[in-house]
């Protein structure tokens, strides 16, 4: 017969909901700080997507010049890019619970795109005057604009 085991202490109960909440001062400071950081990140993400998407649109303009098959592939890819822009702005607005959440990535995207269509003495920077680049510019503006308008306003 094995030796009897000593009794083990009972497990401690989980902390109550009140104990898990931060103190009053910390909660008042943390909420707005986290929200502000979230909005700042969305603006940076919008700028990054605008820069990367503009380079992609520049590549699509080369594909556009490859004939009918290239134009078909470029058009399908452009529709996908515009759909992702729309969905991303809608998701950002839903996640932040406000139109500002959808508007900041749209603003960052627009600022990045417009900075890359500027004309220099050497010519266009990234987005040239091709049909597919104009479709990216105006289709993207329409997509992010509609996404911002369709987002429910915050409290």
Residue 148: predicted pLDDT: 95
Task: Choose the weakest-confidence range: 19-28, 63-72, 133-142.
Answer: 19-28
pTM of the model: 0.77
Q: What share of the chain is helix, strand, coil (3-state, %, to 5)?
A: 70, 5, 25
Spans of all domains in the chain: 50-150
Distance (Å, rounded) from C-alpha 26 to C-alpha 145? 37
Residue 20: predicted pLDDT: 66
Residue 8: predicted pLDDT: 76
Alpha carbon distance, N-terminus to C-terminus of the chain: 69
| Residue of 90, 126, 127, 83 lying closest to 105 (CA atoms) | 90
pLDDT tens, 39-64?
A: 999 999 999 999 999 888 888 888 88
> In the Cβ-directed half-sphere of 39, how many Cα atoms lie within 13 Å?
13
Residue 123: predicted pLDDT: 62
């Amino acid at each position: 017969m094995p030796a009897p085991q000593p009794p083990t202490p009972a497990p401690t109960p989980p902390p109550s909901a009140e104990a898990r909440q931060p103190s009053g001062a910390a909660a008042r400071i943390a909420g707005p700080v986290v929200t502000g950081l979230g909005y700042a990140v969305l603006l940076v993400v919008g700028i990054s997507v605008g820069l990367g998407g503009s380079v992609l649109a520049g590549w699509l303009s080369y594909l556009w010049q490859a004939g009918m098959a290239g134009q078909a592939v470029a058009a399908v890819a452009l529709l996908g890019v515009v759909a992702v822009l729309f969905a991303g702005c809608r998701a950002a607005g839903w996640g932040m619970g406000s139109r500002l959440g959808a508007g900041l990535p749209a603003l960052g995207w627009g600022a990045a795109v417009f900075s890359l269509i500027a004309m220099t003495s050497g010519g266009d920077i990234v987005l040239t005057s091709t049909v597919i680049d104009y479709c990216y510019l105006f289709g993207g503006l329409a997509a992010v604009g509609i996404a911002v308008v369709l987002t429910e306003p915050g409290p």
